[in-house]
Amino acid sequence: MSSDRRLVRTRPGACRGAAFATLLLAAAIAAVGCASAATPTLPLYTEVPIGPTAWPAGTIGQYGLHIDPTLLARLPATVDAYQIVEDPESESLAMGDPDLASTFDRYSAAQIGEIGATNWLALVIGHFSASAGSDVYAAWVDEYATGACSQANGVVDQDQETINFWNVDTATCGGGPVVYTLSLQNGIVLSMVGSGPLDLGRRLIDSLYS
């Protein structure tokens, strides 16, 4: 991998969107010591849509961003016996972000446990808007990592690796959380940040199907 890939790329206005979209996440990381531990649940299904959602039929924000829970069908129902649940609070923040609405036409968020638990994971999955431009994936990789690490001592390293045959962009926050972003093809991107000895983000990627 060339050295210039490690430089943070930006495009006008886009970083504001990433920062706003990860505002709740960043605040929670800053309060990392106050959260409770995630509770493992026995998996009842695999690779199915996540159960009841805040908006079962989806909803559209003021700037046109479509919150689409069906995107979560691309994920396993559980990771290492920890249940993935939709995160309507993060989705509500996303709907108020005009820059995210210009990047994605469909979007959803989910999490495992509370940020600060022994093992936790926060994720977003979205479909890029046709008007977002050809370099939208590369820009999003850096924007998400920057936002996710903004309250965890910033990004200290970025790289690319292959996990379960997927090409994955990774980043490490100075405070410890690890960030993963990968294309699920057909314009769909998955980004997540988490921490803990189980490395739930990597385990989720290990369980993804094509």
Instruction: Compute the distance between CA of residue 165 and CA of residue 13 in angstroms, rounded to an integer.
Output: 33
Helix (H) / strand (E) containing 126: strand 120-128
pTM: predicted TM-score of the whole model, two decimal places? 0.79
Residue spans of the domains in the chain: they are 8-33+46-207
Q: Is the pLDDT of residue 36 over 80?
A: no
The whole-number pLDDT of residue 111 equals: 94
Q: Is the pLDDT of residue 31 over 60?
A: no
The whole-number pLDDT of residue 120 equals: 95
Structure tokens at 32: 């990392």
- Tens digits of per-residue pLDDT, 58-104? 899 989 999 999 999 999 989 999 999 999 999 999 999 999 999 99
Nearest to 145 by CA among 178, 99, 120: 178
